Chain A
Amino acid sequence: MPLELFTVGEPIADTKAPRDVPIKDRWNERRFRARLVNPANRRRLSVIVVGTGLAGGSAAATLAEAGYRVKNFWFQDSPRRAHSVAAQGGINAAKNYRNDGDSVHRLFYDTVKGGDFRSREDNVHRLAEVSTAIIDQCVAQGVPFAREYGGLLDNRSFGGAQVSRTFYARGQTGQQLLYGAYQALERQIGLGNVEQHPRTEMLDLIVVDGRARGIVVRHLITGEITSHMADVVVLASGGYSNVFYLSTNAKGSNVTAAWRAHKRGALFANPCYTQIHPTCIPVSGDYQSKLTLMSESLRNDGRVWVPKERGDTRDPREIPEDERDYYLERIYPAFGNLVPRDIASRQAKNVCDEGRGVGPNGLGVYLDFSDSIQRLGRKAIEAKYGNLFDMYNRITGEDAYETGMRIYPAVHYTMGGLWVDYDLQSTIPGLFVIGEANFSDHGANRLGASALMQGLADGYFVLPNTINDYLADGPFEKVDATHPAVVEAEQAVKTQTEKLLSINGTRTVASFHRELGKLMWDLCGMERSEESLRKALDRIPEIRQEFWTNVKVSGEQGIFNQNLEHAGRVADFIELAELMCVDALHRNESCGGHFRAESQTPEGEALRDDENFAYVAAWEYTPENVPPVLHREALEYEYVHLAQRSYK
């Protein structure tokens, strides 16, 4: 590895998990050791929460219930629109309601293994522990989970799990969970405990005397740029899949809040760990603005196949059984169509690369329900997945009950994010990061139905306990708008905004975003190699250079200007993309969603390199043209023994 790509700094480690007690006692012990804040003193302490998804919404509501003064910021018009709303499949919990051998330890074990041994054991164990309380909380809020005729909750097996531990609300689980958190948040807003800032985008973090003390925001309707102070700042700003332009994320999802915090000193961990979801609707044209996921719960009743022959363009109904290749069932007989996401995605890519893909551009595979419809009846399939079949029909104009679906992988989730310790605190004291925006629980690959679990675990149960320990030192010295750190941060935001509007070049923001996204998908996507990554690293600085000299941003600062919002986000995506490629290049191993061409078994499966890469790569920001600094957090596996994943 040539040195100019990055330099190596001091190692980093979590110091908050009490490792002197067994893992099953650590969360209890941490809560005991963490200092508390007297309820009467909480009114004197203020908390900024950025985001209102499952993590941010649940945290803002819970912290307000606890008595803190919460200021909540989000860029949509309503907190109910955060992108958690779009999660379809379900949420895991170790309830063992099925008596099928599930337990906290098994959920912990499955999640560490599913993350391909690149997550932190302590955090994952805690996640499994609090999973059960999440379900209780949500049911009490009125979340209408699926139930059986006896009135009890239904469960299903999901995304590679061999136990049925997934709770779901038809194909709209994220929506219903989010509305539970949203309603709890609105209740606190109504009670005056949460100050709300809708249509407001965080554009910088204010750090005073080494502590995160506030944020600079732009009001998206008026364009007004203001600063807001607090004793602590919580980022719940989601993931960065939109660096790929086409992803299943909402159009507004962006990395800006996290990236600006990174530029202020928060380490960014494992940026190259992105998840490619196997069951999305294939791309139909150049104008395409986003990709739509079909819940992978469909794989419970659908069978994935392609024609055995290349270039077979017959209607799928005319292709006889013995000319179909049910390749997942063939390669992975034990797990079949339920192999984890990374494996299902890569195999779809492989068969399409062989020329056996289906659909207009050959980038698709069939997900076929005819067996299940025959066995269970169309009604049963409709009851389980009706909304997904309807969605498919609306987008493609095809009736999937008749033809099956065409699916192809798409970027869906990012496991990487700002580095946090066991308390979910970043490397900047007073900056906490929760939900998809942090990195800690999913390792190199997230299991299905565990994103919702993590978002709510962080927001309802983890952060509200750990943040007390930090706030016990507060209230901190008052910072007002005239403080040099505030003036500097606000000025930096204004300068960047003015710069974007003044370039007046010849290319649209969207054209840069599309170019960057395609480059990342081709060169830093499902499969990467040293060659592809070096190519990306040659090109990204050129894109950055051209962006800052030739972008055309319309309108002005003082109005509702969606083009200006997009420009700022794309500028950050370009910088992030470069770090992702450096991270991917330095990690010369395949793990989870990150398949490195140089590191595979003779059968073509991902080959991890635990000897050299069993660590978290936490990157320190450096100015342009100075290589980023790598800080390693060694990963130790005390309870789940390192093993090569096998789903055969």
Chain B
Amino acid sequence: MTSTETRTMSLTLRIWRQRDATKKGKMVTYHVTDVSPDMSFLEMLDVLNEKLILDGDDPVAFDHDCREGICGSCGLMINGIAHGPEQATVCQLHMRSFSDGDVLDIEPWRSGGFPVVKDLAVDRSAFDRIISAGGFISVPTGTAPDAHAVPVPKKDSDAAFDAATCIGCGACVAACPNGSAMLFTAAKVAHLGLLPQGQPERDARVLKMVGQQDAEDFGGCSNIGECSAVCPKGISMETISRLNHDLLGALRAGAVPTS
């Protein structure tokens, strides 16, 4: 019943090292031994970092926080795949997914929209700016009617929930050959657009969010689908269809985003 096995692994890691946004980076090779299959990928990096610190070397910087797959802080390219092979955040990826002797290339998210901060950490503030542009329902505290004032059909509520689970990790952008943030933007457009509360601002929202996305250094969406394939929350391509539907509707209606 227990998955604890005694076998341990030795791995070769080739990790992107970059001192800060202004310096050039390069891949550096490290060897790790005694890796337990029950370790998470980040715990494996913790062990490497403790060794680097004791050796007087600079530990590898990477963003992480909750380590239970929900905060969206962590994210790495592992052998070219965003978050690695399991379609889960790297904190939820365990070393049992790898084999003794594997060589792993570990890189930060690769996108013009996400400049490198240091090593494997990147700046994803563009995502916050997209939300800030319109990813909300305007309801100042205290103005809300009773929660049961507007029933929401369960299927709409469930679909909205599915879109709302996006954790803003950025894997979609990293995986996209165009570096597009469309899945991220679409998830929020779909979440709020599916709910009755989200209707009054629906046209303006999609215009403003797409406008902000275009203003950042993201590429355009050409419906390749790599984004959804790596999304740890399984946000579906259908959200992008919804966004396009809403965008066309808003443009046809001649809606003008107001600030």
Contact = CB atoms under 8 A, between A and B. Distances in A.
Interface in B100-136: 117-118, 121, 123-125, 127-128, 131-133, 135-136
Given A62-B141, A395-B94, A251 B67 contact: yes
B53 A508 contact: yes
Given A137-B144, A394-B88, A560-B20, A221 B117 contact: yes
Interface in B23-69: 36, 38-40, 42-44, 46-47, 49-50, 52-54, 56-59, 61, 63-69
B236 interface: no
Contacts of A290: 67-68
B57 A284 contact: no
Contacts of B46: 287, 289, 510
Task: Name the residue in A77, A85, A360, A460 with the highest tally of chain B Cβ atoms < 10 Å from its Cβ.
Answer: A77
Contact of A169 (B128, B136, B161): B161
A554 B57 contact: yes
Contacts of A61: 141
B163 to A, nearest CB: 9
A554 B3 contact: no
9 contacts: A86-B68, A140-B197, A141-B136, A144-B191, A144-B195, A464-B141, A511-B50, A554-B59, A563-B49
Given A65-B141, A394-B88, A85 B63 contact: no
B152 interface: yes
A42 B53 CA distance: 49
Size band of the interface chain B makes with A: 35 or more
A187 B164 contact: no
Contacts of B158: 144, 147
Interface in B59-112: 59, 61, 63-73, 86, 88, 92, 94, 96
B258 interface: no
Given A133-B142, A139-B144, A183 B135 contact: yes
B140 interface: yes
Contact of A65 (B123, B127, B140): B140
Interface string A66-109: 00000000001111110101100000000101000000000000
Contacts of B42: 289
A93 to B, nearest CB: 8
A447 to B, nearest CB: 21
Contact of B139 (A133, A140, A293): A140
B147 A139 contact: yes
- For the complex of A and B, the 10 pairs showing the least CB-CB separation, nearest first, are A151-B151, A140-B144, A397-B3, A183-B136, A190-B132, A144-B161, A136-B144, A186-B132, A250-B65, A139-B147
A144 B151 CA distance: 12
Contacts of A136: 144-147
B57 to A, nearest CB: 7
Interface residues of A, number: 86
A154 B144 CA distance: 19
B154 A316 contact: no
Given A170-B161, A172-B165, A150 B141 contact: no
B61 to A, nearest CB: 6
A413 interface: no
Contact of B141 (A58, A198, A559): A58
A360 B92 contact: no
B143 interface: yes
Given A135-B147, A183-B135, A77 B63 contact: yes
A122 to B, nearest CB: 22
B222 interface: no
Task: Name the residue in A136, A172, A189, A315 with the highest tally of chain B Cβ atoms < 10 Å from its Cβ.
Answer: A136
A11 interface: no
Interface string A122-154: 000000000001011111111011111111110
Nearest to A222: B20
Contact of A78 (B3, B19, B125): B125
Given A137-B142, A359-B2, A397-B96, 13 more contacts: A62-B140, A78-B168, A80-B71, A86-B68, A141-B136, A176-B161, A186-B135, A187-B132, A285-B4, A288-B43, A394-B69, A403-B1, A560-B20
A142 B192 contact: yes
Contacts of B50: 508, 510-511
A289 B58 contact: no
Nearest to B72: A81
